[in-house]
Amino acid sequence: MLPEEIYLLILALLLDLIFSEPPAALHPVVWFGKLVSVFEKFFEKIERYSPVIQFVYGTFSAIGVISFAIFLVYLPFPEPLNYVWQVYLLFSSFSIKSMVRHASNCLKTNMDPEEVQKIVSRDTKKLNKYQLRSAVIESTAENFVDGVFAPLFYFSIFGILGAVVYRAINTLDAMIGYRGKYEFFGKFSARFDDIANYIPARISLFFFEFLKRGSLKYGLKNKVKLNGTTIAAMSYVLGVKLEKPGFYSLPGRPPEDLDVRRSIKIFEIISAMAVVFAVFLLFLRTLLMEKVYISF
């Protein structure tokens, strides 16, 4: 008999293929973002205080958002609504088709800066055509970890709770986990995200290794940040220069539109691998739990 989580995963994948992602108003990740924004607004009133107070408030804010994620998972829906809710939460925790669509739209619009801006945080108006292509390829590579593999990895180990809490942590990091104004306010969120991504980012390199030998070694050696190992691996597989001006530059030839298309195809292939790996972990977890149960 198949583990129940596999049925949840199959249904969530079908929803992803059909609908891409939930409407913004009904998207749990959007809810996380709105809650972070509430904490952000209050931070503006205390940012003049010491770094210690900013850090404590930032930690409190992160715990608040994560607690909300846990609350969503354990909402007491009656059967079979509780099962439907779990499928929906899992569906909202990863994003395969949406990433493919956004990256493809960048190609269709001839790398329109406004279209590229939808998937990157840097100011795309200041980028040339090669740098815009690089930004799309980097986003595709990085979102494999953030938007596909890590949520599935934590789901396969901790169930729905693992996937949803991970997305809450990831949202916190995306919104406040950077230097500058949020140096101390977002430090806890940034470090927590680094920890959460540490193992998934490194395991993900094995998927690239199937595509081109040496990707694992290259990704670890040239990681652009703690969870940016896949950006380096994508650069290696494609043989192109990927750079974020002022932050990092990976060697290679300037990327062309064909390389963007190849990066999207790679994303689809390794996403399929990630699903298979998640199923393997679910079977392994079930087997281990059965052995523990029998031993007792």
Burial, 91: exposed, middle or buried (Cβ in 10 Å; 0-12, 13-18, 19+)? Answer: buried
d(CA 273, CA 259): 21
Which one, of 197, 194, 200, 250, lies nearest residue 221 by Cα? 250
d(CA 109, CA 112): 5
pLDDT at 227: 58
pLDDT at 276 over 90: yes
Number of domains composing the chain: 1
Report pLDDT digits (tens) over 22-73: 999 999 999 999 999 999 999 988 888 899 999 999 999 999 999 999 999 9
Local structure of residue 223 (DSSP, 8 states): -
Report pLDDT digits (tens) over 218-269: 999 988 765 579 999 999 999 999 998 888 899 999 999 999 999 999 999 9
Please enumerate in sequence order all residues whose Cβ is within 8 A of that of 130, keeping only pairs 6 or more positions apart, or say none: 241, 254, 255
Residue 242 in 3-state DSSP?
strand
Report pLDDT digits (tens) over 176-213: 998 888 999 999 999 999 999 999 999 999 999 999 99
Domain of residue 197: give its range: 4-295
Local structure of residue 253 (DSSP, 8 states): B
- Mean pLDDT, the chain, integer: 94
